[in-house]
Structure 1
Amino acid sequence: MGNDSSTGGYLLPAAGGPSFDNALDDAIQQAVVGITGLPGSLVRPRWQPIVAKQPPIDTDWCAIGVTDTEPDDYPVQDQTATGSDLIEHETITVLATMYGPQAAANAKALRNGLYVAQNREGLLAAGINLTDTGKPIAAMDFVNQQWVRRYDLTIRFRRKTIQNYDILTILSAEADVHTDTHEG
């Protein structure tokens, strides 16, 4: 439970702040599904608490995950009637790895598709915008005594986040002003 600035001590963000993990992952996953046409069940988080079984070698699928988040230094603190908003911009790096017989085509479709404004509408609604993409990098994995096609694509996004802190403001005050006048 957070406190406000009238109590002193450390301040926690007020309830209802941005979701930094699941909402971000969901928005990116939905964009990959929409742009590549891969089924949602085959666009998977890169890191999972319980590792899922890898799809068969002849199945196209994608593993995605945020690999880096770099916030700008010195977020803006904006005083509002409900507290103080801390506004921050950050660069998010995502690694999308395509597997399967159409891995190269899917990596290219994702890269090119992200540059189509309509394809970014869902991301923009979540406060995320494309900065740039790398080029698809070919790699191979040796799994179960066979080579698996793989293409890695690095994507960078920018996002603005706002966290509210309960910092009270002086909206009005009653005061008497006393002055000393000296004649002389």
Structure 2
Amino acid sequence: MKRINPTDYAEQLFNVLKCALESWPEKYRPIVSKDTFYKELSGWKEYLVYGGFDNNGLLCGFAYLKEHTSYLDFCVLRVNPQRERDGINAAMVFGILEDNNERLGKSFYICDGSRSIRHETAFQNYLEKYFGFRKAYCKLHIIYRFPLNLVVKVLYPFRKKISSENKIGSLLSSILRMEEYHRECE
């Protein structure tokens, strides 16, 4: 695991991303084209980018983090699912923590609190269990635009009956789950 210049590994980064996304459920799997990915890659210069490699030098995973004054924002970690049993996730997180060890704990931290509510993952639990991360709760404030506000009001009482097994149901279910969190915060 080491910090990398993403443009030097563009092809390998895209291959890891493609493999990682193929393992996601179809109901929320994004479609990323090679051209779009290469265009977005130029914007990664503002991030700390890490690559995880096997013993033969093949990129098996990557992560990028945005650096702020008092914290690092853990934006993305993608690994080739076929290499997960080799411990690539743990190696990536451990390497990032080691690389930033001198700053951690001195009013500096790593935040992994941002993810799509639709994304089914246990990664945050994994970070808590094995790397000492912790939850920091907040209040959720939502203001809906018209006509979404009407859709939420009408469907909210039926939120538990909406199937999240297809793309539209998954999207509606996610919005209504956020509304439920919002109401619990009040």
TM-score after normalising by structure 2: 0.26
Larger radius of gyration: 1
Q: Comparing both chains, which one has the higher relative contact order based on Cα–Cα distances under 8 Å and sequence gaps of 6 or more?
A: 1
Kindly indicate which of the two structures has a greater share of residues assigned to strand.
1
TM-score (norm 1): 0.26
